[in-house]
């Protein structure tokens, strides 16, 4: 049967992926959700109450177990919304079982908090040879931000010179401290050194060293901090005309104070420590006591606003362009029971899967989302709860 998809990971993002797939029965005819803790899969299936959804337990670090499950269910595509640590084992299993692959975050080794595509780009020839497609980083950022950039280049620019990806969460969940997606992955991302592309090389900064207030549509001014984000690596590789590429994310003072204390007392550590004769990783223990990001939605108010601010040339003339989406936490909760960060990640993952299942985004090899046609993807975003907005020749508030 055509239209079978296996989703691995049953957190906040996995929940949205399943909700959105269930809403498109013409594309997704049979959906299996598998994860380490099976009751989470069962809970999602029960909430949606659709007999096209089945569940399974899986350890996604174990390739033979994965291959067995994939061969039993025989999907056309595996959607990985577990953790970045599982990317390579799931890609290996897909190759062995002969199925296609999609994820939302690039591989990170557990003992090194560093985003790099090199591990997954190394699979290029293997996927090509097998005639299989791997779509990498198909959430919002990475994911939609790269589609936005490709769309800008396709329709409005001959050359992109300056790219600033801006990610604002102006929501309030009412907790003293919580992360909006997996706390371990989120804290690893924010506490590492910043990095941006300028004139052909990477410039490294201290964590949160560079910051400035930026105005976000319908939100207003928010302090925005420069950090490194994985899509920058792919976008500067694929667009050699880019002179400068940066990524900005907003944080509140309270969030940064908690984060500093967490680091100062060693709770952000990723090296195992001995506790009562047992090895534990401080950051993994911290995750166990922090609020579950997938369950923040009930009292979350406010919006996210994520987009790309681009300067470049068209027909020899300089232009600026801002393309973005605003997503309301409460609206996301009403629709899927999760907050906007899970929603803005899970919805593009479903759309990427839909693009593949329809044969629109299908080419053997390993690709990031800027390497496919952006138009059908953005058209689907408008229909699936994530409409985009555009502003032409406006002040981008950028200093270059």
Residue ranges in contact with ligand NDP by CB under 6 A: 9-14, 35-37, 40, 58-61, 81-84, 86, 104-105, 137, 139-143, 181-182, 185, 293-294, 341, 345
Q: Which residue is nearest to ligand NDP (CB)?
A: 11
Q: How far is CA 105 from CA 20, 113, 115, 181, in A?
A: 19, 13, 9, 12
Q: How far is the CB of 234 from ligand NDP (least distance, A)?
A: 12
Nearer to ligand NDP, 239 or 304 (CB): 304
Residue 30 Cβ vs ligand NDP, minimum distance, rounded to whole Å: 20
Q: Decide: residue 223, CB within 10 A, 0-12 exposed, 13-18 middle, 19+ buried.
A: middle
Q: Which is nearer to ligand NDP, 85 or 156 (CB)?
A: 85
Helices (H), the chain: 12-22, 38-48, 63-73, 87-97, 118-121, 124-130, 144-155, 183-191, 230-238, 253-264, 282-289, 329-336, 340-357, 374-383
Taking the least distance from each CB to ligand NDP, the nearer of 157 and 247 is 247
Q: How many CA atoms lie within 13 A of 89 on its CB side?
A: 18
* Main-chain phi, psi angles of 168, to 5 degrees: -115, 130
Q: Tell me phi and psi for residue 337, to 5 degrees.
A: 80, 10
Nearer to ligand NDP, 14 or 312 (CB): 14
Rounded to the nearest whole angstrom, what is the least distance from the CB of residue 199 to ligand NDP in the complex? Answer: 27
Nearer to ligand NDP, 37 or 389 (CB): 37
Q: Shortest Cβ distance from residue 65 to ligand NDP (Å)?
A: 9
* Residue 189: alpha-carbon gap to chain centroid: 12
Which of the 8 DSSP states describes residue 290?
S
- Cβ distance to ligand NDP smaller for residue 39 or 275: 39
CB of 378 to ligand NDP, least distance (A): 16
**Residues whose CB falls within 8 Å of the CB of residue 25, separated by 6 or more in sequence, listed in order:** 52
Cβ at position 293, least distance to ligand NDP in Å = 5
The CB-side HSE value for 185 (13 A sphere, CA atoms) comes to 19
CB of 142 or CB of 337, closer to ligand NDP: 142
CB of 291 to ligand NDP, least distance (A): 11
Q: Is the dihedral of CA 66, 70, 76, 81 positive or negative?
A: negative
């Amino acid at each position: 049967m055509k239209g079978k998809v296996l989703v691995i990971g049953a957190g906040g993002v996995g929940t949205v992926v399943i909700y959105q797939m269930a809403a498109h029965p013409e594309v997704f005819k049979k959906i299996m959700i598998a994860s380490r803790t099976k009751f989470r899969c069962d809970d999602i299936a029960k909430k949606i109450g659709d007999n096209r959804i089945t569940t399974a337990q899986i350890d996604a670090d174990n390739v033979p177990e994965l291959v067995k499950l994939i061969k039993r269910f025989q999907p056309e595509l595996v959607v990985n919304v577990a953790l970045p640590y599982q990317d390579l084992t799931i890609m290996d299993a897909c190759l062995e079982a002969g199925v296609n692959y999609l994820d939302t975050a690039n591989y990170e080794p557990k003992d090194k908090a560093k985003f790099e595509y090199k591990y997954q780009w190394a699979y290029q020839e293997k996927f090509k040879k097998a005639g299989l497609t791997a779509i990498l980083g198909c959430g919002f950022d990475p994911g939609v931000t790269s589609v936005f950039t490709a769309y800008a280049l396709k329709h409005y620019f001959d050359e992109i010179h300056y790219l600033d990806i801006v990610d604002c969460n102006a929501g309030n969940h009412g907790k003293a401290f919580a992360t909006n997606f997996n706390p371990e992955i989120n804290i690893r991302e924010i506490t590492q050194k910043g990095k941006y592309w300028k004139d052909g090389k990477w410039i490294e900064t201290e964590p949160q060293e560079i910051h400035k207030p930026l105005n976000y549509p319908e939100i207003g001014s928010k302090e925005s901090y420069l950090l490194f984000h994985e899509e920058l690596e792919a976008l500067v590789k694929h667009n050699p005309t880019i002179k400068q590429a940066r990524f900005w994310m907003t944080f509140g003072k309270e969030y940064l104070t908690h984060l500093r204390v967490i680091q100062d007392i060693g709770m952000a550590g990723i090296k195992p420590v001995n506790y009562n004769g047992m090895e534990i990783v401080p950051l993994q223990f911290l995750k166990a006591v922090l609020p579950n990001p997938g369950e923040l939605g009930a009292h979350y108010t406010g919006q996210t606003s994520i987009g790309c601010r681009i300067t470049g040339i068209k027909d020899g003339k300089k232009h600026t362009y801002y393309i973005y989406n605003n997503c309301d936490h409460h609206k996301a909760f009403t629709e899927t029971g999760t907050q906007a960060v899970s929603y803005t990640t899970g919805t593009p993952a479903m759309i990427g899967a839909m693009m593949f299942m329809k044969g629109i985004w299908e080419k053997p090899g390993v690709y990031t989302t800027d390497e496919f046609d952006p138009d059908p993807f953005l058209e689907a975003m408008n229909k699936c709860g994530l409409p985009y907005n555009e502003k032409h020749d406006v002040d981008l508030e950028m200093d270059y």
